[in-house]
């Protein structure tokens, strides 16, 4: 399927660049809907775009609640606010959950690439106890303290890939808001953009 660089992507890359001196600029909120119909929101780390495409990568633990949410309803929305440039991006779309049991070898390669792009400290968290379950001891660090740096992804490591369908861009400095929506026709992807009231 043909794909062009989305017009909102350059706005997002510019925002990342102009806010790069702020550590929190690489964090955003990811909202999902649980099997009970209730929304769940959490902060995650931006792990880049997938192979220069428009898809957004997030690393997570297979044992976390968001995986159950996404298996029930495979759509999510990101909300990303850049404090220096006063820009907000709300990005929603389908999420591909890529764990070690994925039958697609290309997706497993993407998962492995994401694993090795993570810091050793980040990789260690996937060897610790199940997130969200009651803690069984007073020790704050119950996971292993070292990891073979050449070892492939831990079983609990999961790559999430969000494929945006709609993007709502708001710039509070210029009082500008643009709504972007994806259109697929004849296997070609294009984006419509419309200025809307802030």
CATH of the domain at 85: 2.30.110.10
Q: Would 76 be classed as within a structural domain?
A: yes
Q: Would 50 be classed as within a structural domain?
A: yes
> Helix H segments across 19-154?
65-72, 105-117, 120-124
| pLDDT of res. 5 | 81
**Facing residues of 93 across strands?**
76, 164
Q: What is the mean pLDDT of residues 68-73?
A: 96
Q: Would 139 be classed as within a structural domain?
A: no
Q: Would 51 be classed as within a structural domain?
A: yes
| pLDDT of res. 1 | 46
**Cα separation, 138 vs 134, whole angstroms:** 11
Identify which of 89, 91, 73, 105 has the alpha carbon closest to the alpha carbon of residue 163: 91
Straight-line distance from the first to the last Cα atom of the chain, in angstroms, rounded to the nearest whole number: 33
Q: Would 135 be classed as within a structural domain?
A: no
Q: What is the mean pLDDT of residues 4-28?
A: 94
Q: Would 134 be classed as within a structural domain?
A: no
Report the domain count for the chain: 1
Q: Would 137 be classed as within a structural domain?
A: no
Q: Would 80 be classed as within a structural domain?
A: yes
pLDDT tens profile 23-33? 999 999 999 99
pLDDT band of 149, cuts 50, 70, 90: confident
Q: What is the mean pLDDT of residues 78-97?
A: 98
| pLDDT of res. 129 | 83
Provide the domain limits for residue 56: 7-129+150-196
């Amino acid at each position: 399927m043909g794909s062009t660089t989305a017009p909102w992507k350059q706005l997002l890359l510019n925002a990342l660049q102009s806010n790069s001196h702020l550590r929190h600029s690489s964090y955003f909120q990811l909202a999902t809907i649980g099997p009970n119909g209730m929304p769940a929101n959490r902060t995650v780390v931006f792990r880049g775009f997938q192979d220069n495409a428009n898809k957004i990568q997030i690393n997570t633990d297979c044992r976390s609640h968001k995986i159950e949410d996404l298996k029930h309803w495979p759509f999510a929305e990101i909300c990303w606010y850049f404090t220096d440039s006063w820009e907000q991006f709300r990005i929603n779309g389908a999420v591909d959950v890529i764990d070690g049991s994925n039958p697609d070898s290309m997706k497993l390669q993407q998962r492995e690439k994401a694993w090795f792009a993570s810091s050793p400290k980040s990789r260690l968290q996937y060897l610790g106890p199940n997130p969200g379950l009651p803690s069984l001891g007073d020790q704050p660090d119950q996971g292993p303290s070292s990891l073979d740096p050449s070892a492939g992804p831990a079983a609990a490591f999961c790559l999430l890939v969000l494929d945006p369908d709609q993007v709502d861009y708001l710039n509070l400095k210029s009082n500008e808001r643009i709504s972007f929506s994806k259109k697929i026709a004849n296997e070609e992807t294009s984006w419509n953009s419309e200025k809307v009231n802030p």
